[in-house]
Structure 1
Amino acid sequence: MPIHVDQMMQLLCRVSREKGMTAAVKHSGQGALLAGATAFVGGLVGGPPGIAVGALGGLLGAWMTSEQFKPVSQIIMELPPAEKQKLYKEAFAIVKNLDWIDVLELTLFVMQNADLKFLLAKTVERFFIRELSAQIKYGE
């Protein structure tokens, strides 16, 4: 039985909420750019003392690269379509051979089966680590 990408994302969101999954995606590129830009501008405007003032930009850049955990379900829904498609393929490989008639039945079956929930949660975790360089925490 086929399942649409959006329906699979809803199922994965439900599993991740039940598992209490949160993820931190580092924004290191943005932080480094900000730190370098503020030091450069500070140096142009104020010379050597301006570079020291620009170091404050380095602190802001460091803050930007710190881990900010968000619910995995929120991140899943914000993924671009191409990323959702990749995640869909990985998750569908787990449920494709199950006997289900519609998405509602599949959802009920998954939510009542600890092993399936575990497999789908691990699929999401591996995807987030590999594709988003994220760190995952479980709250359960």
Structure 2
Amino acid sequence: MPIDARELMEAISIIANQRNVRVTAKQAGKGAMVCAASAFAGGLLLGPLGLVVGSTAGGLMAYKMTSGTFRPLADVLLNDLTDRQQEQLVRHVNNAVAQFEISDLALLLPLIMNNASIQQAVLKTAISFVSNELNLQIID
């Protein structure tokens, strides 16, 4: 039986969920800059008390800005990738596990789910793909 891309994507997603890998569209840096700028402005206007007020206000603004931008990698893999991107990822994963010479899904899935080193190789490949192709930042 040839390797079914959808089932392999689901296996990769299970591994990503187990490792609690999340992605963000580089919003964390923006949030930090908003928080720092607010603290700086508050400090200039009100001195030490302004630092407290500014950093609190900046933290709340940063929260509001970045709320909902951190998503599980599994969600991105299953819902955001186009068919072409899924095929590319499957090819990359197949290349990553090629040293094991597995061409049958019935053999590959149990091996992925039970072998920590293969899980690490598959997850590393998926993370690299998402980082490079979708320009998303990975959060472990």
> How would you bin the TM-score normalised by the shorter chain?
0.5 to 0.7
Is 1:77 aligned to 2:78, yes or no? Answer: yes
Please give the alpha-carbon distance, in whole angstroms, between the structure 1 residues aligned to 2:14 and 2:97. 15
**SS of the counterpart of 1:23?**
strand
What is the alpha-carbon distance in structure 1 between the residues aligned to residue 101 and residue 26 of structure 2? 39
Paired positions, count? 105
Structure 2 equivalent of residue 4 of structure 1: 4
* Deviation (angstroms), 1:11: 1.5
Q: Distance in 1 between matches of 2:82 and 2:101?
A: 30
Where in structure 2 are there 5+ consecutive unaligned residues?
28-60
Aligned partners of 1:67 and 1:126: how far apart in 2?
22
Q: Which residue of 2 aligns with 1:103?
A: 105
Determine the structure 2 residue equivalent to 1:49.
none
Alpha-carbon distance change, 95 to 9 in structure 1, aligned in 2, over 3 angstroms: same
SS at match of 2:100: coil
Cα shift at 1:119: 0.6
Cα deviation, residue 97, structure 1: 4.5
Letter of the structure 1 residue corresponding to residue 24 of structure 2? A
The 3 A distance-change label for structure 1 pair 111 and 97 is: same
Q: Structure 1 residues 113, 70: CA separation in 2 closer, same or farther (over 3 Å shift)?
A: same
Percent identical among aligned pairs is 22
Q: CA RMSD in A?
A: 2.6
The alignment's TM-score, normalised by the length of structure 2, stands at 0.63
Q: What is the Cα deviation at residue 87 of structure 1?
A: 0.8
Distance 1:7 1:96, change over 3 A: farther
- Correspondence 1:55-74 to 2 at 5 A: 63=65, 68-74=69-75
Uncovered stretches (5+) of structure 1, i.e. residues with no partner: 28-58
SS at match of 2:71: strand
